[in-house]
A = this chain, B = another copy of it.
Amino acid sequence: MAALPSGLLGALDPTSDRAVFRQIADQLREAIDKGRFREGDKLPSEAELVDHYSVSRMTVRNSLSILQGEGLVHSEHGKGVFVRPRPPVRRLASDRFARRHREQGKSAFTVEAEAAGSRPEVDRLEVKEERPSADISARLGGPRRVLARRRRYLLDHRPVEFAVSYIPLDLARDTPIAEPNPGPGGIYARLEELGHRLDHFEEEIRSRMPTPSEVKTLQLASGVPVIHLIRTAYDTEGRAVEVCDTVMAADAYVLSYQLPAT
């Protein structure tokens, strides 16, 4: 095995209170921050780090797992540990639901992704009637049954978002909204055609670590949180006509909002 290039990583300080595996993690983090390892670069192998620092392998693995938890690196079985590349991000502007954007045929996601030069896909489309959770029901004003529209969004073949729309069943039954493809402009256009002129949206944003099932659905690397967005659409009569519950890979998104100063 080749020795590490000298100067890449320093030595341990045996007099320090800081645990050895933290010191190693610190040095690797610093090397990444300073660009000595770049996005996609392979870090020294566990065996090389064991040699360099004269510690046991579990100690080295412990260090690496810290960096993984910070989202700085990811490991690939049989290959090595790599500096995690920053994926292209999707910018969500606060005017993304403006009425003018509903005029043309394609969905907001598709139009915007193609404009940004990415390959958009929609996946795992599923439409069915359900009994809503207490929270969803309350947001919609208490319907007993709703239409649930689930789908997964991908950008350049990478899943980035999983979303569920809930519409009170009395609004959606026997309309294009209950079809897998609701037609040009999406369900918001159909709701307006049905006489529910949209007035405003309310969005609630949280962030947390993903559940195991979200890790699977969004193929998340460890150390990547999710953004949980709950949007409620209100018509001009103040009725909540849709709730959209969205979980996004946090490393793929920047949300952007405009607030009036009034």
Residues of A within 8 A of B (CB): 26, 29, 58, 65, 69-71, 94-95, 97-99, 198-212, 222-227, 233, 250-251, 253-262
- Closest B residue to A203 by beta carbon equals B257
Q: For residue A244, give the distance in angstroms from its CB to the closest CB of chain B.
A: 12
Instruction: Identify A199's interface contact among B205, B222, B261, CB under 8 A.
Output: B261
User: Are the CB atoms of B203 and A259 closer together than 8 Å?
Assistant: yes
11 residue pairs bridging A and B, Cβ less than 8 Å apart: A29-B212, A69-B222, A70-B211, A202-B259, A204-B255, A205-B205, A206-B254, A207-B250, A208-B250, A209-B225, A257-B259
Instruction: Identify A254's interface contact among B26, B205, B253, CB under 8 A.
Output: B205
With most chain B CB atoms within 10 A of its CB, the pick from A70, A199, A211 is: A70
Q: For residue A85, give the distance in angstroms from its CB to the closest CB of chain B.
A: 14
Q: For residue A95, give the distance in angstroms from its CB to the closest CB of chain B.
A: 8
CB-CB under 8 A from A29, the residues of chain B are 212
With most chain B CB atoms within 10 A of its CB, the pick from A70, A94, A207, A223 is: A207
User: Are the CB atoms of B204 and A259 closer together than 8 Å?
Assistant: no
Q: For residue A60, give the distance in angstroms from its CB to the closest CB of chain B.
A: 14
- Take A97-B261, A262-B99 as given contacts and tell me if A225 and B207 are in contact as well, using a CB distance cutoff of 8 Å: yes
CB-CB under 8 A from A250, the residues of chain B are 206-208, 225
CB-CB under 8 A from A69, the residues of chain B are 69, 209, 222
Cα(A254)–Cα(B208), bound, Å:
11
Cα(A258)–Cα(B260), bound, Å:
10
User: Are the CB atoms of B255 and A201 closer together than 8 Å?
Assistant: no
User: Are the CB atoms of A257 and B257 closer together than 8 Å?
Assistant: yes
User: Are the CB atoms of A99 and B201 closer together than 8 Å?
Assistant: no
Across chains A and B, which 8 residue pairs bring their CB atoms closest together, nearest first?
A225-B225, A198-B261, A207-B207, A207-B250, A205-B255, A201-B259, A71-B209, A203-B257
- Take A98-B262, A250-B225 as given contacts and tell me if A209 and B70 are in contact as well, using a CB distance cutoff of 8 Å: yes
Cα(A70)–Cα(B226), bound, Å:
11
With most chain B CB atoms within 10 A of its CB, the pick from A71, A260, A261 is: A261
CB-CB under 8 A from A200, the residues of chain B are 258-261
User: Are the CB atoms of A256 and B205 closer together than 8 Å?
Assistant: yes
CB-CB under 8 A from A65, the residues of chain B are 65
Q: For residue A22, give the distance in angstroms from its CB to the closest CB of chain B.
A: 9
